[in-house]
Structure 1
Amino acid sequence: MKSHSQSLHWRPSVAFRLVIAVACVGALLPPVTRGQVARQPVRARRVMVASASAFASQVGVDILKRGGNAVDAAVAVGLALAVTFPVAGNLGGGGFMLIRMADGRTTAIDYRETAPARASRDMYLGPDGRLLAEKSTLGYAAAGVPGTVAGFELALRKYGRLKWAQVVAPARRLAQEGFPVSYALERGLRIAERLSRFPDSRRIFQRDGNYYQEGDILRQPELAATLERLEKRGPREFYEGETARRIAAAMAANGGLITLEDLKGYRPVEREPLRGSYRGYEIVTFPPPSSGGIVLLNVLNQLEGDNLAALGPGSSEANHLLIETMRRAFADRAMLMGDPDFVPVPVEKLTSKDYAKARRATIDPNRATPSADVQPGLPAARFESAETTHFTVVDADGNIVTNTYTLNGPYGSGVTVPGTGVLLNNEMDDFAAKPGEPNAYQLVQGEANSIAPGKRPLSSMTPTIVLRDGKPWFAIGSPGGPTIISTVLQVVINIIDHKMNLQQAIDAPRLHHQWLPDVVMWEPYGMTADTKRALEAKGHRLDVVPRYNGDAEGIMIDTTGARLGASDPRNPDALAVGY
């Protein structure tokens, strides 16, 4: 296990910088600076959909116009993103859907991928005990059993209004008829070296080197055929029909672990959402196997005793507190969290106000605490990703869905299953392939998140709903691997403490600290020189992230009942659409 002192001297490798670069969706817009004139959210009277793709957002609105509710629209958006946002939208991945119905019912649908039955704790280690390069991140052996289709089916069956075929049809048409390639998608497909390693991915997404250009029409006939099978035969086709047989055959031929039995046996899990409060506002967020909700509530609880509004957004004092509280919460994440169906997770303790108060008491207001000196606040248990995407839907009745799902890395494992058009995840890297060693996102994780058959890997996804006086106020989420948590956290703080509107809160610069490596990641142009000097004087080590953090997609309901939608300027293809 790497010592904490070694980690303190970590230098960002080229590989890690590349991971962060692609992990932070968005990258192509000019920086959002503090002096910029405030943008306003998109305003609509009845419904709103915010997602990473204008095409997918419009699909959601069309479903709502046809009488569907927020759940119907969310499923249709998720399926459409599998076509129009292939870097993260998916059929071959998994995620988390947080639902709040207008009558107050709230649920968390966990459709996270699971480890195949043949997976084992040390499957990514060589005979010498060293991690095998790329085995957990690239190719067939990196994939967990996909959960997206099953999760969407559960949500639709229990909480939707429309039939399965009705919500699949728009995605099938988009795949069949195609859509114009944006500049951002052109660039993403061109630089995705992992796609070039697999014949079907190279042919479909890179035209065997004759790359798509902005304005070209991207048609995906194999994916359209898969969606048509799902449309006609139902969602179990993905797990028991022709699609499942194609996945299992490709796995068997290429060293993968997923079998027909794994696919047939996959089931999503409905869980009770986590609940907390911050300055009188109720926070509803996702439970384990997401670490996001616990870390979010833990940091907010620590910060509740400080007057962030008086310190001002972006001040060195406010940033210092933010960094120090994240440092402590991520230390707890590293060693204490995993799949609650396999390991005990001390959720109640980690989200309690008293525990946060004790952690907050260890913060020196004038000096950074070295991460080597910060250990989990509880004994360790016995022993992700960045290329994710988020969307939020609010319908006319007040039903809310906020959903984050992922392939993990950009374009997942790089594999497109022959004859299906389906990109597979590389979610196995979100386990602790070697407990105590950093994964692709430099997250150090403990034995609680080690690999076991049927187990779900720990996640950072943090779909969240905030209530004011018992009524829904806003819903938010983001991609970005571990920066998901810090993105959602800072949007919440910007709205509650700094009184920003939803669009301002999303536009504002962000920073991130995850305990190890002991470095503050901050966005270009997101911090003034004197603020940077003040933080460095306190002992913080700052690193410029070469791209922007996250792609927050949120919706707020104002006091008149209007829906206010906001998409992140860091993703030029994102759009909030309503009527």
Structure 2
Amino acid sequence: MYLAALATAWVVDPANCSPFGRMQGVFSTGGEYDCLYAPTRIRDEPGSTTPVPGNISAYFALRRSGGLRLPLSTILAPARSIAVGGFQPSASLRAAAQVSAADMQPDFRRIYLDDRGGVRARVQNPRLGRLLEVLGRAADERAFWTALYQQDPGPWALEALLDNAPRSGPPRVLERLGRDGRRYRLHTTANLETWGTWTLLGTAVISHLHDTGAVTDLETAMEAYLLATILVLDRIPFTVGLLTPKSASPTVDIDVEAEGRAIATRVGRLLRAPPADLWAELAGTYFPGEGSKTDDRNTNAFAIAADGDLLSFTTSLGPWFGSKRAWFGAGLAYSYAMKSGQLFEGQTHDVTEMSPLIIERDGRPWLAIGAAGSERIYGALTYLLLLKLALGLPGDMADLMMTPRLFPKDGKVRTHRDMPQSVQRHLAGRGYVIDLTDYDSRKHLGVVNLVERVGEGRYRSGADPSSSGGAL
């Protein structure tokens, strides 16, 4: 199901998805958990940061695992049909194509724009259809790359394409007792190319704040979330927005519990501080000023349930349409090493911004959730966990996802317009600048997808109100 959905997203969501992009995932099958990391690898050429694709390697890794019930050609057939037959572009794709048009190479631009520069009413991508056909019938990854390379070598050396093996392993886990008295167990990817560790750290901070009684009302809870988010983002070993490493050897090998308690203590102190003291301390973080500006576009997240199994995967190729260069009608991934101009010690894979998450409740898989949106991926997930685990709000997660959110971005507090006025007044009184936004994919607060077990054999899914994504 996931591979079929991913391939279809390569066709209809090309601004965020590509076979030449990267992916991260965590999944629970038969009660066992595993992760798959397929980030783009940095090409081993002096001075080159052109990333080698990871999505294709992951496709073949999943096939080798023996978990597929259908051949790849059958799984890919719907996507290939849409690529060849054409589709009506969504409002989000129209916006992305218009914004990116000036930077797209001509062969890429012709796929989505007509001779007058407008977005085509119907998009057809036969070359991408050809790629999907080759992928579906290839005996293995080497045969796939060789077939493509013989037809069109593009910007690649064949040897580079054949060397980006994905990695797998057990997820990182955090256990928590919710406000409802139920036990929650969070599972996420925790390598350097993901937000996973930091999502667990943010959840630990929120949990400690609740346990110590620091969150007493909605207004305080919203400020506590903002402060926790700022301090955790300030703690990550990369500069927010640029992903420039802060040290020669960045790591996610941290004590989540200890650091969570320390940051929660600091948040509690700042909640009690007068505004002047609060902002004197925040001035030493990444948050204030123009330096914290980041992209408003990135990534696609998938959450799927089947026969009691759960899957949460995220895929990305960087900014809209990646590097704005195409091969076989698909965008080539943009490397954050290109953006930062800096590689850290021992770096072999591109740094990404993903955080797929699966949560157990009372010992049973309960929720698969993921998000898109750079650092807002982390923010959207921890915000929803604040509502459910710390504040104990009732309702399904698909309902909570529809409630107004806020996030510290670009030196302001980006806030949905329907956030309660009491929260807006409280934050303004504390010195925060409120940046109101609608539920809009061009100025969002993290784009979430989820599927939740709501009863025995019963599931509910949800897609973010700021996106054109879907829930089935």
Pairwise TM-score range, normalised by the shorter structure: 0.7 to 0.9
Question: Following TM superposition, by how much is the alpha carbon of 1:431 offset from its aligned partner in structure 2, in angstroms?
Answer: 6.5
1:499 counterpart letter in structure 2: P
Corresponding residue of 2:130: 225
**What secondary structure does 2:371 align onto?**
coil
Match of 1:508 among 389, 403, 413: 403
Question: Following TM superposition, by how much is the alpha carbon of 1:179 offset from its aligned partner in structure 2, in angstroms?
Answer: 2.1
Corresponding residue of 1:263: 161
Match of 1:469 among 362, 365, 380: 362
Q: Give distance in 1, aligned partners of 2:216 and 2:142.
A: 53
Higher relative contact order (CA 8 A, sep 6+): 1
The answer to whether structure 1 residue 114 and structure 2 residue 41 are counterparts is yes
Match of 2:234 among 310, 324, 331: 331
Query: Gapped runs of 5+ residues in structure 1?
Result: 1-72, 124-140, 252-257, 376-383, 435-449
Are 1:476 and 1:554, in contact at CA under 8 Å, matched by a contact in 2? Answer: yes
1:304 counterpart letter in structure 2: S
In the TM superposition, 1:347-496 aligns within 5 A as 347-349=253-255, 351=256, 353-363=257-267, 364-367=270-273, 368=278, 370-374=281-285, 386-396=297-307, 398-417=308-327, 420-429=328-337, 432-434=340-342, 450=343, 455-496=348-389
Question: Following TM superposition, by how much is the alpha carbon of 1:338 offset from its aligned partner in structure 2, in angstroms?
Answer: 9.6
Match of 2:148 among 231, 234, 243: 243
**What secondary structure does 1:391 align onto?**
strand
2:271 counterpart letter in structure 1: P
Are 1:286 and 1:462, in contact at CA under 8 Å, matched by a contact in 2? Answer: yes
Are 2:40 and 2:51, in contact at CA under 8 Å, matched by a contact in 1? Answer: yes
- TM-score, normalized by length of structure 2? 0.84
Q: Give distance in 2, aligned partners of 1:105 and 1:111.
A: 20
Q: Give distance in 1, aligned partners of 2:165 and 2:339.
A: 19
Q: Deviations over 1:380-439 (max 9, x none)?
A: xxxx8842001111112x12111100011011111112xx112111123577425xxxxx
Q: Give distance in 2, aligned partners of 1:170 and 1:300.
A: 38
Question: Following TM superposition, by how much is the alpha carbon of 1:334 offset from its aligned partner in structure 2, in angstroms?
Answer: 3.3
The answer to whether structure 1 residue 554 and structure 2 residue 446 are counterparts is no
**What secondary structure does 1:490 align onto?**
helix
1:562 counterpart letter in structure 2: R
**What secondary structure does 1:283 align onto?**
strand
Are 1:296 and 1:489, in contact at CA under 8 Å, matched by a contact in 2? Answer: yes
Q: Give distance in 2, aligned partners of 1:178 and 1:119.
A: 41
**What secondary structure does 2:109 align onto?**
helix
**What secondary structure does 1:405 align onto?**
strand
Q: Give distance in 2, aligned partners of 1:176 and 1:525.
A: 41
Corresponding residue of 2:187: 284
Are 1:114 and 1:454, in contact at CA under 8 Å, matched by a contact in 2? Answer: no
Are 1:323 and 1:520, in contact at CA under 8 Å, matched by a contact in 2? Answer: no
Are 2:138 and 2:144, in contact at CA under 8 Å, matched by a contact in 1? Answer: no
Q: Give distance in 2, aligned partners of 1:385 and 1:94.
A: 19
**What secondary structure does 2:79 align onto?**
helix
Question: Following TM superposition, by how much is the alpha carbon of 1:530 offset from its aligned partner in structure 2, in angstroms?
Answer: 4.1
Corresponding residue of 1:192: 100
Is the alpha carbon distance of 1:552 and 1:348 closer, same or farther for their aligned partners in structure 2, counting shifts above 3 Å? same
Is the alpha carbon distance of 1:239 and 1:229 closer, same or farther for their aligned partners in structure 2, counting shifts above 3 Å? closer
**What secondary structure does 1:575 align onto?**
coil
Is the alpha carbon distance of 1:238 and 1:169 closer, same or farther for their aligned partners in structure 2, counting shifts above 3 Å? farther
Q: Deviations over 1:299-319 (max 9, x none)?
A: 111121334999588x33111
Question: Following TM superposition, by how much is the alpha carbon of 1:529 offset from its aligned partner in structure 2, in angstroms?
Answer: 4.3
**What secondary structure does 1:297 align onto?**
helix
Q: Give distance in 2, aligned partners of 1:319 and 1:191.
A: 33
Corresponding residue of 1:440: none
**What secondary structure does 2:208 align onto?**
coil
Are 2:296 and 2:443, in contact at CA under 8 Å, matched by a contact in 1? Answer: no
Where do 4+ consecutive residues of structure 1 move more than 6 Å?
336-339
Question: Following TM superposition, by how much is the alpha carbon of 1:483 offset from its aligned partner in structure 2, in angstroms?
Answer: 0.5
Is the alpha carbon distance of 1:374 and 1:387 closer, same or farther for their aligned partners in structure 2, counting shifts above 3 Å? closer
Is the alpha carbon distance of 1:453 and 1:276 closer, same or farther for their aligned partners in structure 2, counting shifts above 3 Å? closer
The answer to whether structure 1 residue 538 and structure 2 residue 465 are counterparts is no
Question: Following TM superposition, by how much is the alpha carbon of 1:275 offset from its aligned partner in structure 2, in angstroms?
Answer: 0.3
Is the alpha carbon distance of 1:300 and 1:187 closer, same or farther for their aligned partners in structure 2, counting shifts above 3 Å? closer
Question: Following TM superposition, by how much is the alpha carbon of 1:479 offset from its aligned partner in structure 2, in angstroms?
Answer: 0.6
Are 1:487 and 1:552, in contact at CA under 8 Å, matched by a contact in 2? Answer: yes
**What secondary structure does 2:419 align onto?**
coil
Question: Following TM superposition, by how much is the alpha carbon of 1:154 offset from its aligned partner in structure 2, in angstroms?
Answer: 1.1
Count of residues paired in the alignment = 439
Corresponding residue of 1:80: 8
Are 1:179 and 1:219, in contact at CA under 8 Å, matched by a contact in 2? Answer: yes
Q: Give distance in 2, aligned partners of 1:163 and 1:96.
A: 22
Q: Give distance in 1, aligned partners of 2:199 and 2:361.
A: 18
Q: Deviations over 1:130-176 (max 9, x none)?
A: xxxxxxxxxxx7x4111011112212321322222221222111111
Question: Following TM superposition, by how much is the alpha carbon of 1:298 offset from its aligned partner in structure 2, in angstroms?
Answer: 0.9
Are 1:94 and 1:146, in contact at CA under 8 Å, matched by a contact in 2? Answer: yes
Corresponding residue of 1:302: 205
Q: Give distance in 2, aligned partners of 1:473 and 1:357.
A: 26
The answer to whether structure 1 residue 162 and structure 2 residue 70 are counterparts is yes
2:266 counterpart letter in structure 1: T
Q: Give distance in 2, aligned partners of 1:146 and 1:459.
A: 13
Higher strand share: 2
Query: Gapped runs of 5+ residues in structure 2?
Result: 178-182, 287-294
Are 2:25 and 2:356, in contact at CA under 8 Å, matched by a contact in 1? Answer: yes
Are 2:173 and 2:188, in contact at CA under 8 Å, matched by a contact in 1? Answer: yes
Question: Following TM superposition, by how much is the alpha carbon of 1:513 offset from its aligned partner in structure 2, in angstroms?
Answer: 3.0
2:167 counterpart letter in structure 1: V
Is the alpha carbon distance of 1:458 and 1:372 closer, same or farther for their aligned partners in structure 2, counting shifts above 3 Å? farther
Q: Give distance in 2, aligned partners of 1:431 and 1:356.
A: 30
Corresponding residue of 2:292: none
Q: Give distance in 1, aligned partners of 2:98 and 2:375.
A: 26
Corresponding residue of 2:220: 317
Is the alpha carbon distance of 1:166 and 1:431 closer, same or farther for their aligned partners in structure 2, counting shifts above 3 Å? same
The answer to whether structure 1 residue 148 and structure 2 residue 58 are counterparts is no
Question: Following TM superposition, by how much is the alpha carbon of 1:191 offset from its aligned partner in structure 2, in angstroms?
Answer: 3.2
1:220 counterpart letter in structure 2: N
Q: Give distance in 2, aligned partners of 1:238 and 1:189.
A: 33
Is the alpha carbon distance of 1:245 and 1:527 closer, same or farther for their aligned partners in structure 2, counting shifts above 3 Å? farther
Are 1:119 and 1:452, in contact at CA under 8 Å, matched by a contact in 2? Answer: no
